[in-house]
A = this chain, B = another copy of it.
Amino acid sequence: MLTYSMEDRGSLPLYEYLYRCIRRDILSGALAAGERLPSKRTLAEHLRLSVITVEGAYAQLEAEGYVYAKPKQGFFVCPVQQTPEPPRPAAIPTEKPAPVWKVDLRSNQADGSRFPAATWARLTRQVLSEGSFLTSVPHQGLYALRQAIADDLHAFKGMSVSPEQIVIGAGAEYLYMLLAQLLGPKTVVAVEDPGYPKIRQVYGKCGAVCRPIPLDRQGMDPAVLAASGATAAHLSPNHHYPTGTITTIGRRQALLQWAEEREATIIEDDYDSEFRFAGRPIPALQSIDTHGRVVYMNTFSQTISPSMRMGFMVLPPQLLERYRRELGFYACTVPVLEQHVLARFLSGGYYEQHLSRMRKEYRARRDAVLAAFQASPFAGRVTFSEQGAGLHFLLRLDTSLDDETLRQKAEGLGVRLAFLSEYAAVPREEHAHTLVVNYGGLEPERLADTTALLTEVFSE
């Protein structure tokens, strides 16, 4: 007869403790396969338990397949493997803490401290009080948010799009995944070289084949693109990161012609285009696309906060139909609360106010950085370029040191640098000795220190 000391059960319910005791005996082999368990009544009397307690334990054992019932005969032990040793906890690789830098010129994130957090919090409280944050939204995203995005694109980028064309997603990387799935497996995607490495990484992980196309001063060369065999091209025609290149109107027209003739897709990634310091915003390629070949995409991670993954894409009619047919089953990945708040942040004008303030702020910051560098001991050995937009500029250094040596030297001094060569898929000599100086997080009060540290890094 099964005998267990029910006093040892601690805080467990009686039935659960009994279930655990019998389970242990089955797993250890003390109760062999085919053996019959005592009847509920017998065991209950033996252990001074209620029949209901034994019933509960037997039911759980049966549900998990430790025992099986034969009508009118009772419960029998199932064949299971004996597991003498308890599982040993395996070694878990620990997470590396993010290193702390004295100066970080590599992070291209906007300065979060300038974000109107109070306004955002107020709008969030508003949505919370209305209780609509638990309702479900269409798979393409909250309609009010898509309307607000369409309005913003119309007012500030000269684009005429319908909310129906917009798909909301949890950041650029997620949208790249959807696009890779939409284009289909093995699609050859032309990407800009140099370019943001994550674009190549995500497409590669999603089964697309990336063909890096070298950029010249006008953008991607349509002849090289045509020869590449690509049927899709991922471009940043309005402000390329990190070279700052703006694709000229002649090139835009030629790229669109390529897409029409090849029935190819152009993905216009408008990352980092908001902070243009002189003149008006560059009109989107999408706005001159008469044949529905351009997908426009952008994210709010850069302009609002990287802590909120929110982006969107605008699909041309034919691709929209394919999206709904093939990928329409995907639920929207952005929480409804954030979608409501962003819709109000956009339609209330707070977003463009914020951008306008930040453009001034970053322009001042950029001017201060350039002035400090031009007054530094290394001024005679550097040339600047691409400083018209974005939160970075290029700094070409006259040096005999290679990029890797410079990088290590900098890290030894607590300085994190980014090099143009890191963005290249195919290394070329013209990329060497060129720093991508991301000054978005470089507050004025840290400029003197930064210049002094860079002087040491650049010394030979």
Contact = CB atoms under 8 A, between A and B. Distances in A.
Interface of A: 15-16, 19, 56, 59-60, 63-66, 78-81, 83, 85, 87-95, 98, 109, 112, 115, 117, 121, 124-125, 128-129, 131, 133-138, 140, 160, 162, 164-165, 170-171, 173-174, 177, 181, 185, 198, 201-202, 205-207, 218, 246-253, 257, 278-280, 282-283, 287-290, 292, 305-310, 316-317, 320-321, 324, 326-327, 329-338, 388
B94 A64 contact: no
Given A59-B278, A290-B87, A307-B137, A162 B207 contact: no
A93 B85 CA distance: 61
Query: What is the predominant secondary structure among interface residues of chain A facing chain B?
Result: loop
A224 to B, nearest CB: 18
Given A309-B334, A330-B173, A338-B337, A247 B317 contact: no
B307 A133 contact: yes
A92 B162 contact: yes
Given A174-B333, A207-B185, A327-B205, A115 B92 contact: no
Given A65-B248, A85-B290, A95-B164, 10 more contacts: A63-B388, A80-B250, A87-B290, A90-B316, A117-B134, A171-B333, A174-B333, A181-B206, A307-B337, A309-B335
B317 A92 contact: yes
B78 A250 contact: yes
Contact of A249 (B66, B121, B288): B66
A301 to B, nearest CB: 8
B307 A333 contact: no
Contacts of A124: 124, 128, 337
A165 B128 contact: no
A250 B65 contact: yes
A337 B338 CA distance: 9
Contact of A131 (B56, B117, B248): B117
Contacts of A85: 290
Contact of A91 (B290, B317, B336): B317
A305 B138 CA distance: 15
B306 A136 contact: yes
B93 A171 contact: no
A336 B338 CA distance: 11
A317 B206 contact: no
B63 A279 contact: yes
A62 to B, nearest CB: 9
A181 B164 contact: no
A305 B170 contact: no
B170 A334 contact: yes
A173 B289 CA distance: 33
Nearest to A174: B333
